[in-house]
Amino acid sequence: MSNNNSNNSNINIKDVAQLVDDAAVNAEAISQLSAQGYSLTLAQAYQVQEQSVSNRLTRGEKQVGIKMGFTSRAKMIQMGVDDMIWGPLTDAMFIEEGGETNWQEYVHPRVEPEIAFLLKKPLSGNVTLAEVMASVEAVAPALEIIDSRYANFKFSLEDVVADNCSSSGFTLGAWQNAETDIANLGMVMEFDGEAVEIGSSAGILGNPWRSLAAAARVAGEAGKVLPAGSIVLAGASTAAYPLRPGVHVRLNCEKLGIAEFTVK
Ligand code: OOG
Ligand code: MG
């Protein structure tokens, strides 16, 4: 399809941001941006993301960290993409430990097992793994709810970046000592006590610490700093699994413990 939006030098970033932002607010799926005549470059997709996150901040949400996406083969294969992505997390996405989230708020949500870092020092740019590890206060098991605003959960890399990387919810288990060896931990995600996805933290770039180094690098490239006190989600270690109303989801992560929530 083509219309007068199809020349990507003419794209109005604010208009496209409004499209994805409205879809998120109304929990209503939209067509992929290319099918709406917007063929974005990846750089433009990040501009759309920044604008739609800025709309959220204007509504009173606070940024609490960032999430990395497609840091595992399992996720890249599931979604048919081959590059890492990142996007901001806000306080409105946070679900209290063991808390509830409302099915009504989502289009077609999925959940995935992750590991979270809590920074005690700011991070930005090219940093060694040793520097990255020295910047972390604590690590925790985490569950991320992703909910693409695109119909059928189908998108290009540019679409998903523009849609703030499908970010819509996350919960954390108790924070654990940052010196815990997290390189290869068994991760079992259960729905009502039944295992639905089983993986290892090694699925995340071979070692989740590499995802934090990558987060620092991409933040630096975007001229940003990950501040002390912020949370970084390392990306899913397994494919994501579709949520359903009423389900209790629990991640049991070796050494780190449990993260859980219920869908109302
Ligand atoms: C995009 C988000 C990817 C991850 O952990 O890999 C992501 C999506 O799959 O919709 O959060
Ligand atoms: Mg994720």
CA of 148 to the centre of ligand 1 (A): 9
- Of the candidates 181, 169, 182, 4, the one whose C-alpha atom is nearest the C-alpha of residue 93 is 169
Pocket test for ligand 1, best of 154, 159, 166 (most atoms within 8 A of CB): 166
If the chain, 264 residues long, is cut into consecutive pieces of 10 residues, what is the mean pLDDT of each piece? 57 96 97 95 97 98 98 96 96 97 97 98 97 98 98 97 98 98 98 98 98 97 97 98 98 98 98
Q: What pTM, to 2 d.p., does this model score?
A: 0.96
Q: What is the C-alpha to C-alpha distance for residues 160 and 110, in angstroms, rounded to an integer?
A: 15
> What pLDDT is stored for residue 8 in this prediction?
76
Crossing angle of helices 42-58/13-26, nearest 10°?
A: 60
Give the model's pLDDT for residue 180. 98
Name the closest ligand to CA 170: 2
pLDDT at residue 1 in the model: 41
What are the φ/ψ torsions at residue 227 (nearest 5 degrees)? -75, 160
Q: Residues lining ligand 1, judged by CB closer than 6 Å?
A: 67, 69-70, 75, 79, 112, 144, 146, 148, 160, 165-166, 235-236
Token pair listed for 144: 């991320």
Q: How many CA atoms lie within 13 A of 146 on its CB side?
A: 31
Q: Whose CA is closest to 242, among 145, 98, 100?
A: 145
Structure tokens at 173: 């288990």
pLDDT at 7: 59
Rounded CA-CA distance 30/150 in Å is 5
235 phi/psi in degrees, rounded to 5: 105, 155
CA 114–ligand 1 middle distance (angstroms): 11
With beta carbons less than 8 A apart as the criterion, state whether 48 and 162 touch: yes
- Give pLDDT, residue 3: 45
